[in-house]
Chains A and B, each alone.
Chain A
Amino acid sequence: MKRIVYREWLVEPQRYWGLLAMLAGVIAVGGLSALYMEHEGHWVTGMTNSVVWGTPHVFAVFLIIAASGALNVASIGTVFDKTAYKPLARLSGLLAVALLVGGLLVLVLDLGRPDRLLVAMTTYNFSSIFAWNIFLYSGFAAIVIGYLWTMAERKGNHLQKPVGTFAFLWRLALTTGTGSIFGFLVGREAYDTAILAPLFVVMSFAYGLAIYMLVLFYAFDADGRPIGPAMLKRLKNLLGLFVAAVLYFTLVYHLTKLYGAKNSDIEAFLLINGGLYTALFWVGWVLIGGLIPLGIIYHPELNKQRDWIATASALVVAGGLAAMYVIIIGSQAYPQEMFPGHSVIQFGAPGDVGGRVAPYSPSFPELLLGLGGVGVALLITAVGIRVLQFLPESLADRDVDPHASARHA
């Protein structure tokens, strides 16, 4: 088999620096937004005592689960010994770390007291899944960096499989942990189910791969590296599988909730009469993030064109953000049920919310902070592939898996 050659990203300097400048701009605006929110306090956001986690959490959770999903491509190559995926592994590791850093940054900057980060890192409550997640996240970054080393360094090559397997198991724990942040909330009807953790795992597969494909296509396009049709087919089939799995688990999630009859109200809210949240569920999560991409991926003509596959990936990302919005914000907006058989006709002062749907509209600074996190992830990736050898020179079929293409021919 041919040796895979990796090369720094050879995009023209103007384009590279232009890209960096743009990302730096997005990050700067996000940073300024965070400063503004921190200085004024959270009253300038749409968040309240009812909807306590707003748009920044939508982005942060999305980026974090996508991070673990992005590593999947590497895992398939190393852990499951699929030779064809091996050349994709380095970018997969880099992207995983980059997305994680972006997501965590947003999470931290949305704290009420980000200046107390040191407290968070030195004072642990070990019964808190949140505290465990801090370990899961930092461990993940460390392991993936180690994994990248085993890929790049001849001396470490023999460790690649054990380290890769470890990273794969760790990423499963990480997504399960992130899902559990919500699963542990007994007082919130929408989250009170065991299916949330596996749902998060399949979501991470889909979103991580979609982002991976977008980055790969863009980077390869920019300096004219080839991607063979078999490779394209492989990736889009994998994406199709993951997107279908998300839809399947979404169905299971709602069926379990409907089955536990006392949750039927929140179900009606999410599925039928929740206004914006219902719309985001059906149009965003199911249609844009699920059915349309599947339609493209399994369309006999469109699915051979890279641009269409990229479109499908972008739709999966958009649908993923919608799904996060529904899961995180929709279920906070839905009133907590405290008095079964009763209607709440007054709850504190007028304007205070209980017993009815809480209003929330995202403010600009929140949105910009979230986008800033995306910017950070992309900046790390862009610089990474430029200065280090992350990208394979070619993904043409004969370079990737000569036997496979010989068979097809």
Chain B
Amino acid sequence: MKNESEPTNQGRRDFLGAAAGLTAAAVAPGMMLHTVDSEAAAPTGGVSDAHRWGLLVDTSKCADGCTACVDACDQENGLNLQSQPLGDDELKWQNQRATWIRKVKLQDNLTGQVTNLPLMCQHCEHPPCVDVCPTGASFKRADGIVMVDRHTCIGCRYCMMACPYKARSFIHEQVDQKLTRAPRGKGCVESCNLCAHRLDTGDISTACADACSAEGHQALVFGDLKDPTGPLRQALAKKPNRQIRQDLGLNTGVRYAGI
């Protein structure tokens, strides 16, 4: 399965490149134009496969009760601007609003030990969400970031069915307020994009990792999985780590230490 998905991904990327070009030309503001602007080069909108972006989560440092990464993501990507539709049930709304990153608390069934960790899109190398998307709106950039092209997403939600990490959200309500860097529209699906807007302007960071450091926890290290001297690879070398649902062989870009 691994061997097969590479060439198809490649073909899809070329194809998407063309599609993205068309969309970008046709529709004014939005992510596509943004990325094309930043580095007018390769068909994928200026991102190269010289990098593969990823994260290491050190669960031993992730503090109980802290939500700094979640709050930062909400601010960064305008998720705090969502408003509960009048008349919607509060609990249902919590399950309907878009969430790119969530704090998860686990308890070991045997030892009772409690572990905290942030869970977001794992940026799979072989993303099931991309495989199933009928229009190719879900795509993987050359630098490993998996995201949704909101101009071609038809809102079928098949990708949400396919994602093993419950990383994706459907926009259930009308959107009144949004940020230019994080366009959002009713009826489309979205998920964590590793703050692609930052990377595309040369800022190698994510809001969640920054916020975690600012709180003094340093539980999140962001960086390039392909750079042997970079901070991520250094951190990965120091701590034994694994992928959530490693058995699925998706080769995720987000790794966890201490689970």
Contacts and interface: CB of A to CB of B under 8 A. Distances in A.
Interface of A: 38, 40-44, 47-50, 52-53, 111-114, 116-117, 119-120, 123-131, 134, 181, 184-188, 332, 336, 338-339, 341-354, 358-359
B187 A42 contact: yes
B12 to A, nearest CB: 6
Interface stretch (B38-46, B148-156, B220-228): B148-156
A58 to B, nearest CB: 14
A124 B134 contact: yes
B102 A184 contact: no
Most chain B beta-carbon neighbours within 10 Å: one of A42, A117, A129, A336: A42
Interface residues of B, number: 66
Contact of A188 (B91, B104, B161, B244): B161
Interface stretch (B164-172, B193-201, B229-237): B164-172
Contact of A352 (B102, B107, B163): B102
B164 A345 contact: no
B166 A354 contact: yes
A350 B94 contact: yes
A342 B115 contact: yes
Given A116-B152, A130-B133, A348-B70, 9 more contacts: A111-B156, A119-B135, A120-B135, A123-B137, A126-B8, A184-B128, A343-B107, A348-B94, A348-B104
Given A123-B19, A351-B95, A358-B95, A49 B134 contact: no
B104 A354 contact: yes
Contacts of A186: 128, 162, 164, 248
B8 to A, nearest CB: 5
A6 B90 CA distance: 59
Contacts of B157: 52-53, 112
A341 B109 contact: yes
Interface string B179-200: 0000000111100000000000
Contacts of B103: 346, 348
A59 to B, nearest CB: 16
Nearest to A123: B135
B177 interface: no
25 contacts: A42-B172, A43-B85, A43-B96, A44-B85, A48-B96, A48-B172, A49-B95, A49-B169, A52-B160, A112-B188, A112-B189, A113-B155, A119-B135, A120-B154, A128-B136, A131-B134, A186-B128, A186-B248, A187-B248, A344-B104, A347-B102, A347-B105, A352-B94, A353-B95, A354-B104
Contacts, number: 201
Interface string B56-100: 000000000000001000000000000001001011111110110
B129 to A, nearest CB: 10
B104 A346 contact: yes
Given A41-B174, A49-B170, A344-B106, A184 B162 contact: yes
Contacts of B70: 348
A342 B116 CA distance: 12
Given A41-B173, A42-B187, A48 B109 contact: no
A402 B155 CA distance: 55
Contacts of B214: none
B12 A43 contact: no
A351 B95 CA distance: 6
B154 A119 contact: yes
Contact of B85 (A40, A112, A181, A332): A40
A116 B136 CA distance: 13
A347 B91 CA distance: 13
B166 A49 contact: yes
B203 interface: no
A111 B132 contact: no
B161 A338 contact: no
A306 to B, nearest CB: 42
A187 B165 contact: yes
B134 A339 contact: no
